[in-house]
A and B are shown apart, each in its own frame.
Chain A
Amino acid sequence: MIKKTTARLVAISAAYAVTAMAQPAVAQDKVAVANAATAQAAPAAEGGKMVLPNGQDITPATMENGRWYTEEGIPTFKIAEDGTTDYSTFSGYRRYSAECHVCHGPDGEGSTYAPALKDSVKTLDYYQFQEIVASGKQEVSKAANLVMPAFGTNKNVWCYIDDIYVYLLARGVGDLPRGRPAKKEAKSDEFAAQENACMEG
């Protein structure tokens, strides 16, 4: 566990890690540099709430269609004391592994050329995350050839975009270990109904 102030520094360097192989520009801060590659910042507790280093509250408050949301209506994960994940986080693991893994590597850990998304979600907010997945992102120069496609029309991604987001949050700031979540809640009827409506709609 890392103290909140350190977590913020980690977040700064993780922002630079969004470009796959960029050097952390905050080299004067040894702690930040040392943690940049393996940032394991825990969400800071503020009055019982879980808050990302960027200030975004990720405390689960309400459930809708089988997914957990914060008070501000942003999707988030919920992992029980015994490690059981909510179904949405598990669904996100599956879809991430099918759609994102071929570039971003297993478990949100990054590859030789694409960033570790488990770290990216700590610095991007939910809406920035959605925008990049929907529209794609390019960084093409003499030094880099990084191109992410737009997934806004891909049902295999877009019907599960919130699941993928909360899975990456759980990987980045929660206690979800690498690999397939060992224990999960069952798929609820509401979740299944919403999934069918989206995939067939």
Chain B
Amino acid sequence: MASKRREIMKRLLKGATLALLLTGSSALANESVLAEIAKPQQWAIQTGDYANTRYSTLDKINKDNVKDLRVAWTFSTGVLRGHEGSPLVIGDVMYVHTPFPNNVFALDLNDNGKILWRYEPQQDPNVIAVMCCDTVYRGLAYADGTILLHQADTTLVALDSKTGEVKWSVKTGDPAIGETNTATVLPVKDKVIVGVSGGEYGVRGRVTAYSLADGSEVWKAYSTGPDAEMLVDPEKTMHLGKPIGADSSLQSWEGDQWKIGGGTTWGWYSYDPELNLVYYGTGNPSTWNPAQRPGDNKWSMTIMARDADTGMAKWFYQMTPHDEWDFDGINEMILTNQTRDGTERKLLTHFDRNGLGYTLDRETGELLVAEKYDPAVNWTTGVDMDPNSENYGRPAVVAEYSTEQNGEDVNSTGICPAALGSKDQQPAAFSPKTNLFYVPTNHVCMDYEPFRVAYTAGQPYVGATLSMYPAPNSHGGMGNFIAWDNTKGEIKWSLPEQFSVWSGALATAGDIVFYGTLEGYLKAVDAETGKELYKFKTPSGIIGNVMTYEHGGKQYVGILSGVGGWAGIGLAAGLTNPNEGLGAVGGYAALSQYTELGGQLTVFELPG
């Protein structure tokens, strides 16, 4: 306990505000995850910490010496498709996952990465066919001597972290109706919080809590439908300071469309131990054809705050009512304690697919900031911030770019951002030293034409066609890596990238920020200025997230390569802009000219 307190104190001193989340006084049923996260030598959770800051207090690798970084060791995963997420490090062991078939490797850091055990699940390959956008998996979780693997076919498996033996397993969904998994799970106290993918298959989104001890279901909260199934209290669950009222979801859909209405939950989860609230976002309403689902389609496209013990919703905020562009709301919620307008506040910052960077009070759900984090964003003129307005909190939609107003079978052109958003799931990082967020972004626009589709269980249920291309009248590239001030809603600096930045960022106390690129570069930049300090080209394009750990007194940085995912679909052949005439067709760079498939972990160190 004494050493644990020392760690916490160290974090308090170094990590300033975010360390307030890690108070050592609370009497939680299970503190194991908090204790493991508090050790900066480890990477105990995919998101770096419960607050999703992806910030490390390690500073041996810093802005003065990062230029000397070199490869320490590498590990091939034996799997070719898109590699998202990152390894975990617990004690002297690193845990590496792969995309489907979702193999797990435990590597001995004391013995040059020797494989201590491996787990190779047997899954029906038919699940591959119902996974939208590659067979990615965003990684393992750890709690109480248990590695938690959530397979593509929605089997949640608890493995003994020492031996790899199965403790228990439970099926969390049904791939026969398009329910699959790509996300990591969130262990909280004695529970495991689990989401579901399948918004392009008409899956009804929900979050389920399972017992960490035996995998039994504890609570389940749907994104749509009757109040009781959504775990809301019409009087106490709030939306922008007002109770949501009875049947809030049912009244916002026509007929039974909500039953196949999406609102899936495949993103990252965060947790505030003091407030005991879990935060996440819900995905797009199904179908992509807005004419087939009149109404606000609640509670798709919504930030949700729920009690970790009961699942009961404390507050919602719907960012994009009646989505018309597939702007899923599932991106991560980053929890920070910062000063705004002279007062210390518990904030939640979220970079939505719709191109707006939101800052809210995470205790109450009050909306503080909603500003564009890519100047190319054009579908809205902004969010109504007047609490007395009937449109309070709603984005004003520009008619020209409204696929609803233009109607079915009409091609709406020049919409920014494209459906993959100004940012997709690739998570941002926050440094309490600079008070800045470091955000990997897409700089891509689209044409979008909705049309009628029929629903068949287990079949794609999309209902729109779109073509995507680099943002016009800009630098010609398809991505930016930006630094963002969430209290003001302003871009501090922006680094143009040739391709979308599809890698999760890492910020460290060494005053540097790391990210990967689709060509395969691991890059380190100055946290204050964005100046590039180091880059190295790994064997394949990077859609994984950068992590760091310390072993034997030495700091390491790790990254998974392995191109694929959404980026591998659109960019493999290059993107074209049909509006720029025939001369421009094929003029944009194809990712296939830069990299090939291949799953590999690369670990970096300083010489000596």
Contacts and interface: CB of A to CB of B under 8 A. Distances in A.
Contacts of B569: 101-103, 105-106, 111-112
A116 B78 CA distance: 24
B125 interface: yes
Nearest to B457: A153
Nearest to B462: A98
A112 B411 contact: no
Interface string A66-99: 0000000000000000000000000001111111
A98 B466 CA distance: 8
B572 A178 contact: no
B293 to A, nearest CB: 16
Interface residues of B, number: 56
Contacts of B447: 180
Query: Chain B: interface secondary structure?
Result: loop
A101 B132 CA distance: 10
Contacts of A106: 467-468, 569-570, 573, 575-576
B516 interface: no
B449 A94 contact: yes
Interface string B433-458: 00000000000000101011110101
Interface residues of A, number: 44
A68 to B, nearest CB: 21
A178 to B, nearest CB: 5
Given A102-B133, A113-B134, A156 B573 contact: no
Nearest to A154: B459
A179 B467 contact: yes
A178 B456 contact: no
A36 B585 CA distance: 20
A140 B125 contact: yes
Given A136-B129, A147-B125, A112 B453 contact: no
Interface string A1-36: 000000000000000000001000000000000000
A149 B462 contact: no
Contact of B125 (A102, A107, A116, A138): A138
A110 interface: yes
Interface of B: 78-82, 100-101, 125-126, 128-130, 132-135, 200, 288, 411, 447, 449, 451-454, 456, 458-468, 563-564, 568-570, 572-578, 582, 585-586, 591-592, 596-597
15 contacts: A37-B592, A94-B451, A98-B288, A102-B133, A110-B572, A110-B573, A112-B592, A112-B597, A113-B568, A144-B80, A147-B125, A153-B456, A154-B456, A179-B577, A199-B452
Given A21-B596, A109-B573, A179-B578, 19 more contacts: A21-B80, A95-B465, A98-B288, A98-B453, A98-B463, A111-B573, A112-B81, A116-B573, A138-B125, A144-B80, A145-B81, A145-B135, A149-B126, A149-B458, A151-B459, A178-B578, A180-B449, A180-B467, A182-B578
